[in-house]
A and B are shown apart, each in its own frame.
Chain A
Amino acid sequence: MNPAGPLARVVLAGVGRRRAQASVVALTTLLAVTASVLALGLIAGSRAPFDRAFAAQHGAHLTVQFDATKVTAARLAATGSAAPVAQAAGPFPVAELRPRIVGGPPGLPVGLGLPSLTVVGRNQPDSGPDSIDQVAVIEGRWATNRGEIVLDPDSLPPSLLGARLQLPDLPGAPVLTVVGLAHSAGGSARAWVAPDALAAFVSRDVPAGLQMLYRLTAAGTENAIDSGRAAISAGMPAGAVTGTRSYLDVRAGALVRTAVFTPFVAAFGVLGLAMSVLIVGTVVAGGVGATIWRTGVLRSLGLTPAQAAGAHVAQVLVPATGGVGLGILCGNLLAMVVFDGSAAAYGAVAPSVPLWVDAAVGAGALALVAVAALLPALHAGRRSPVDAMRLGRVPRPGRGRWAGRLAARLPLPRPLSLGLAHPFARPARSGVLAVAVGFGALGVSFAVGLATTLDSIAADNSRDEAGEVVVSTHVRVAHGPKSGAAAPGPAQAPVAAGEVADAGDAADVAKVIAAQPGTARFFTSAHAEVYALGIVGPVTVTAHTGDSSWGARPMISGDWFRGPGEAVADTRFLDETGAGIGDTVTVTDHGVSVALRIVGEVFDLDDDTVDLATDETSLRGLDLGLAVDSFNIDLRPGTDLVRYVDTLQDALASHPAVVRANLEEGSEVIAVMDALIASLTLLLVVVAGLGVLNTVVLDTRERVHDLGVVKAVGMTPRQVLAMVLTSAGGIGVCAAAMGVPAGVALHHRVVPLMGTAARTGMPRAYIDVYGPVAAALLVLGGLLIAVLGALVPAGWAAGTRATTALRAE
Chain B
Amino acid sequence: MPAPPAIAIHDITKRYDGAASALAGLSLTVAPGESLAIVGPSGSGKSTLLNMVAGLDRPSTGSVTVDGVRVDRLNETAAAKFRRARIGMIFQFFNLLDDLTVLDNVLLPAQLAGTPSARARARADELLGYLGVARHGGAYPGRLSGGERQRVAVARALMNRPALLLADEPTGALDSVAAAQVRDLLAAVNADGQTLLLVTHDAALAASCASRTVELADGTVARDTHGSVARDAETTAACGTDGSAVGGTGGTVTGGPAPVSR
By the criterion CB–CB under 8 Å, are B56 and A712 in contact?
yes
Which residue of chain A lies nearest to B75 when distances are taken between CB atoms in the complex? Answer: A717
Given that A716-B77, A806-B91 are known contacts, is A710 also in contact with B57, CB under 8 Å in the complex?
A: no
Complex Cα gap A712–B51 (Å): 9
By the criterion CB–CB under 8 Å, are A713 and B142 in contact?
no
By the criterion CB–CB under 8 Å, are A708 and B95 in contact?
yes
The residue that A709 contacts in the complex, of B54, B57, B76, B95, with Cβ under 8 A, is B95
Say whether A397 faces chain B, with CB atoms less than 8 Å apart: yes
Which residue of chain A lies nearest to B52 when distances are taken between CB atoms in the complex? Answer: A803
Taking CB atoms and an 8 Å cut-off, the chain B residues in 40-97 that contact chain A are: 51, 54, 56-58, 76-77, 80-81, 83-85, 89, 91, 93, 95-97
Given that A706-B97, A713-B156, A714-B113 are known contacts, is A803 also in contact with B56, CB under 8 Å in the complex?
A: yes
By the criterion CB–CB under 8 Å, are B56 and A801 in contact?
yes
Complex Cα gap A408–B100 (Å): 10
Complex Cα gap A418–B101 (Å): 12
Complex Cα gap A408–B97 (Å): 14
The residue that A712 contacts in the complex, of B54, B58, B81, B101, with Cβ under 8 A, is B54
Say whether B232 faces chain A, with CB atoms less than 8 Å apart: no
Taking CB atoms and an 8 Å cut-off, the chain A residues in 402-420 that contact chain B are: 404-405, 408, 414-415, 418
A803 neighbours in B (Cβ, 8 Å): 51, 56-57
A425 neighbours in B (Cβ, 8 Å): 99
Complex Cα gap A717–B93 (Å): 23
The residue that B93 contacts in the complex, of A398, A798, A809, with Cβ under 8 A, is A809
Complex Cα gap A404–B112 (Å): 17
Which residue of chain B lies nearest to A809 when distances are taken between CB atoms in the complex? Answer: B93
Say whether B126 faces chain A, with CB atoms less than 8 Å apart: no
By the criterion CB–CB under 8 Å, are B89 and A712 in contact?
yes
In the assembled complex, the CB of A422 is this many whole angstroms from the nearest CB of chain B, namely: 7
Mask of B93-126 contacts with A, CB within 8 angstroms, 1/0 = 1011111110010001101110000000000000
Say whether B130 faces chain A, with CB atoms less than 8 Å apart: no
Count how many chain A residues have C-beta atoms less than 8 Å from C-beta atoms of the other chain. 33
Which residue of chain A lies nearest to B78 when distances are taken between CB atoms in the complex? Answer: A716
Report the tally of A-B residue pairs with Cβ distances under 8 A.
Answer: 84
By the criterion CB–CB under 8 Å, are B99 and A712 in contact?
no
The residue that B112 contacts in the complex, of A408, A714, A802, A806, with Cβ under 8 A, is A714
The residue that B142 contacts in the complex, of A397, A414, A421, A718, with Cβ under 8 A, is A397
In the assembled complex, the CB of B173 is this many whole angstroms from the nearest CB of chain A, namely: 16
Complex Cα gap A340–B241 (Å): 89
By the criterion CB–CB under 8 Å, are A713 and B108 in contact?
yes
B83 neighbours in A (Cβ, 8 Å): 712-714
Say whether A799 faces chain B, with CB atoms less than 8 Å apart: yes
Complex Cα gap A801–B111 (Å): 22
By the criterion CB–CB under 8 Å, are A714 and B80 in contact?
yes
Taking CB atoms and an 8 Å cut-off, the chain A residues in 757-809 that contact chain B are: 798-799, 801-803, 806, 809
In the assembled complex, the CB of A798 is this many whole angstroms from the nearest CB of chain B, namely: 8
Complex Cα gap A425–B83 (Å): 28
The residue that A714 contacts in the complex, of B81, B95, B99, B100, with Cβ under 8 A, is B81
By the criterion CB–CB under 8 Å, are A716 and B99 in contact?
no
Q: Can you spell out 11 A-B residue pairs with CB atoms less than 8 angstroms apart?
A: A397-B142, A401-B99, A404-B104, A713-B89, A713-B108, A714-B80, A714-B81, A715-B80, A717-B77, A719-B80, A803-B56
Residues of chain B having any CB pair with chain A under 8 Å: 51, 54, 56-58, 76-77, 80-81, 83-85, 89, 91, 93, 95-101, 104, 108-109, 111-113, 140, 142, 156
